[in-house]
């Protein structure tokens, strides 16, 4: 098994080492703007921001192995929710549809990875023996983020958490929207950042904290330099250059894609499609989806998941206290605006 994994690792490294430079790649495949939706084709839907289409180098040659090789891709523009979906917005969806989230249902034995029933609840970040760790807490859900007998939240501007992949997908469909692909999410993140910088690092003109991340020795102590020990209400930090909030830190955001460690090796250049099958060499028997953007638990020198190229994988049937989402809306072919959603 070790030899197999070494072969996989070697292949990814060689693929990265042999790739042409970004400049040479762009010159070999000039962008045909007529084939892409670049400019906003109509009025901006309420609560959304236009992300212009164009060319982008996805990945990071200095990042983790699953961020390589760097590939030049061409993407249509799209509208993206200006903020992460809030508890107020999610409550409207639940009231209209009577939807029950995965955390509120629990998982029956036939759908559980372990073969044992999982009671209603979710993963909560808790203090334990002088440090912090994840714990499955009965009763934890988007209504009660801490679980147990805690009072239900009053829906407001906090990003909704404890939502599994299918919960996020159900909301997006109700709203007439979609989850972004990894490529679309990274395009939006890069349009609001400089190069491949770590999004948690200060911008040259930043005044004070500009993202909700872990400040201090992870996982023992968060110095709370950004003012928050958990999720922060949306728009608590400065807006990015492209008009989007909280693309870095606060909560991880679900993407449409299955996670594949080798996703970029054979990525289609024009309008790259998500993988049709998952593959995680560390747990090949478990299919995982991609989350992006980092959370309030991402620390410098640890996961640094707030980087625009950083990829994270997680089981689609599990929500947690640091995973939320935002939606996108794609123009119709030819550039017309789709019918209005919620």
Q: How far is CA 313 from the centre of its chain?
A: 10
Provide the CATH number for the domain around residue 44.
3.90.1580.10
| Predicted local confidence at residue 167, as pLDDT | 98
**pLDDT at 342 exceeding the cut of 80:** no
Report how many domains make up the chain. Answer: 1
Q: Mean pLDDT across the chain, nearest whole number?
A: 85
| Radius of gyration over every alpha carbon of the chain, rounded to an integer in angstroms | 20
* H or E stretch at 3: helix 2-17
- The pLDDT tens digits of the residues spanning 2-30 come to 333 333 344 444 444 455 555 565 566 55
Asked if residue 8 belongs to a domain, the reply is no
Helix axes 87-97 and 165-174, enclosed angle (nearest 10): 80
| Predicted local confidence at residue 303, as pLDDT | 78
Residues contacting 195, CB < 8 A, separation 6+: none
Residues contacting 225, CB < 8 A, separation 6+: 209, 215, 216
DSSP sequence for 160-187:
P-S--HHHHHHHHHHTT-BPPPHHHHHH
Q: How far apart are CA 57 and CA 268, in angstroms?
A: 12
| Predicted local confidence at residue 114, as pLDDT | 77
Q: How far apart are CA 262 and CA 271, in angstroms?
A: 18
Asked if residue 160 belongs to a domain, the reply is yes
Q: How far apart are CA 180 and CA 199, in angstroms?
A: 19
Q: In what order do the strands lie in the sheet containing 289-292?
A: 312-314, 289-292, 252-258, 323-324
- The pLDDT tens digits of the residues spanning 79-113 come to 999 999 999 999 999 999 999 999 999 778 887 77
Burial of 152 (0-12, 13-18, 19+ CB in 10 A): exposed
28-56: average pLDDT = 85
Asked if residue 21 belongs to a domain, the reply is no
Comparing CA positions, the residue from 200, 203, 205, 204 lying closest to residue 215 is 200
Does residue 93 sit in helix, strand or coil? helix
Q: Which domain does 239 fall in, by range?
A: 31-55+75-260+273-329
pTM greater than 0.75 (yes/no): yes
* H or E stretch at 28: helix 22-28
| Predicted local confidence at residue 2, as pLDDT | 33
Residues 233-266 as b/e (b if ≥16 CB within 10 A, e otherwise) read bbebbebbebbbbbbbbbbbbbbbbbbbbbbbee
Asked if residue 291 belongs to a domain, the reply is yes
| Predicted local confidence at residue 149, as pLDDT | 79
Asked if residue 6 belongs to a domain, the reply is no
- The pLDDT tens digits of the residues spanning 110-143 come to 877 778 888 899 999 886 666 678 889 999 999 9
Structural tokens at position 51? 């992300």
Please tell me whether the peptide bond between 265 and the residue prior to it is cis, using omega within 30 degrees of 0.
Answer: no
Asked if residue 4 belongs to a domain, the reply is no
- The pLDDT tens digits of the residues spanning 257-281 come to 999 999 999 999 999 999 999 999 9
Least confident stretch, 203-207, 286-290, 333-337? 203-207
3-state helix, strand, coil in the chain (%, to 5): 20, 20, 60
Structural tokens at position 95? 């009231």
- The pLDDT tens digits of the residues spanning 183-216 come to 999 999 988 664 444 444 444 444 457 799 888 8
Does residue 48 sit in helix, strand or coil? strand
Asked if residue 87 belongs to a domain, the reply is yes
Asked if residue 296 belongs to a domain, the reply is yes
């Amino acid at each position: 098994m070790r030899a197999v994994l070494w072969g996989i690792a070697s292949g990814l490294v060689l693929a990265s080492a042999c790739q042409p430079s970004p400049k040479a790649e762009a010159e070999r495949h000039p962008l045909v703007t007529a084939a892409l939706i670049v400019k906003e084709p109509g009025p901006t839907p309420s609560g959304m921001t236009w992300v212009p289409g164009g060319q982008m180098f996805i990945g990071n040659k200095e990042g983790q192995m699953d961020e390589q090789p760097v590939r030049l891709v061409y993407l249509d523009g799209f509208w993206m929710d200006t903020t992460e979906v809030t508890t107020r917005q999610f409550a409207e969806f639940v009231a209209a549809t009577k939807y029950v989230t995965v955390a509120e249902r629990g998982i029956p034995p036939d759908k559980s990875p372990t073969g044992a029933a999982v009671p209603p609840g979710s993963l909560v970040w808790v203090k334990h023996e002088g440090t912090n760790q994840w714990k499955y807490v009965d009763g934890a859900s988007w209504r009660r983020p801490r679980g147990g007998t805690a009072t239900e939240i009053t829906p407001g501007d906090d990003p909704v958490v404890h939502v599994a992949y299918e919960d996020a997908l159900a909301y997006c469909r109700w709203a007439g929207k979609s989850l972004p692909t990894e490529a679309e999410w990274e395009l939006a993140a890069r349009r609001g950042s400089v190069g491949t910088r770590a999004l948690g690092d200060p911008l040259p003109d930043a005044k004070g904290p500009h993202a909700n991340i872990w400040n201090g020795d992870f996982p023992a102590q968060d110095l709370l330099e950004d003012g928050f020990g958990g999720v922060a209400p949306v728009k608590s930090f400065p807006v990015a250059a492209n008009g989007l909030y909280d693309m870095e830190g606060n909560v991880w955001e679900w993407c449409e894609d299955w996670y594949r460690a080798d996703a970029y090796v054979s990525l289609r250049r024009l309008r790259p499609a998500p993988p049709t099958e998952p593959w995680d060499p560390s747990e090949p028997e478990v299919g995982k989806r991609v989350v992006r953007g980092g959370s309030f638990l991402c620390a410098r020198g640890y996961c640094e998941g707030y980087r625009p190229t950083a990829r994270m994988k997680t089981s689609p049937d599990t929500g947690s206290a640091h995973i939320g989402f935002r939606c996108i809306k794609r123009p119709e072919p030819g550039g017309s605006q789709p019918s209005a959603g919620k």
